[in-house]
Amino acid sequence: MGRAVVATTTARGVPVQAELGGANAAPVLPDADIEQAAAHLAAAIAGYAGQKCTATSRVIAVGDAYRPLRAAIAKALADVELAPVINESALSRLTHAVDSARAAGAETVTGGQRIDAPGWFLEPTLLTGVPEEHPLLTEEFFGPLAVLLPAADLDQAITRANSSPQSLATSVHTQDLDLALTAVDRPDAGMIRVNAPSTGVDFHLPFGGAKAAIHGPANRAPPRCSSSPPSEPSRCRPAEHPGDHAQRASEGRSPIP
C-alpha cells in the first residue's frame, strides 16, 4: 500500500513521505540482562499482535547469550496479552510463513499455531533454524512472529541486522556502555534503542527508516510556506524558532511576516 501511494503521488509531482515497514533486528550481547531483554523483546514481538511497524522480527543472540535467551523469550512470550491480527488473510499469511519455514527445516521454539477461538489469533511465535533464503529473514510479516538467529560476535550480529533491505528500528541489549556506543553507531536503522523494546517512539526525534523502509525525508517539522501555489517552492522556508522575531528586532531588522 505504501508503494502504491508513493507511485501515485510522485507520478503527479506531489512530494510524499512514506514509511514502508521493516524487518527489524535486535542484537543481544552475552553480558545483557537476559530476563530483562527477553521481556522487552517479547513485548516488541507480540505486543499488539506484532502489528507495529517498529516490531522486532529478528532476534540476534551473540555468543553465549543464545541458549538462555531462547528459553527466556519463550517464557516471556507466554505472558504477553493476546491480540488478534487484522483479518483472515493476515492470519493465513502468517500461518503459511510458519509452515513454509518448518518445511524448510526451521524449529518452533514456542507458538506457531492458530488459536481455536473466535477471531484471528496466532500464538506468539519464535522460530529458530530458519534458512537464509526464507522471506521471514528479509520481509515484514506484521504479526506476533520472530526468528531467533545466532551470531559469533558483534560484527556478525551487525552484519545480520543490516542484511534486510528494510530496516526501520532496532534495539541493542547490553550492560556495557562501550559496547552499546559501538553497537548503536553501526546498524542501518532509522531508530536505535538500547535496553528497551524496538516498539517505543521518541516523539522529540525525527522518525524514519533506512534503505527500502522509507521514501522521502524522515518525519520532522514541516516547512512553513506562504499561500503561494506548489509551483513556487522557493517561497517556502523552514519553520521558525520562537526567538526569531526577537532576534531580528534586536538587530534592527523587520520582523519576518
Are 173 and 29 a contacting pair, CB within 8 Å? yes
- Whether residue 236 lies in the annotated active site: no
| Residue labelled with grid coordinates 505472558 | 79
Strands (E), 74-177: 107-110, 125-128, 145-151, 166-167, 169-172
How far apart, in whole angstroms, are the C-alpha atoms of residue 216 and residue 19?
Answer: 9
How far apart, in whole angstroms, are the C-alpha atoms of residue 26 and residue 32?
Answer: 12
How far apart, in whole angstroms, are the C-alpha atoms of residue 190 and residue 144?
Answer: 22
Q: Which of 38, 42, 43, 53 is catalytic?
A: 53
Which residues make Cβ contacts (< 8 Å) with residue 77, sequence separation at least 6? 42, 45, 46, 110, 111, 124, 125, 126, 144
CA 76 to chain centre: 20
Write out the catalytic residue numbers: 53
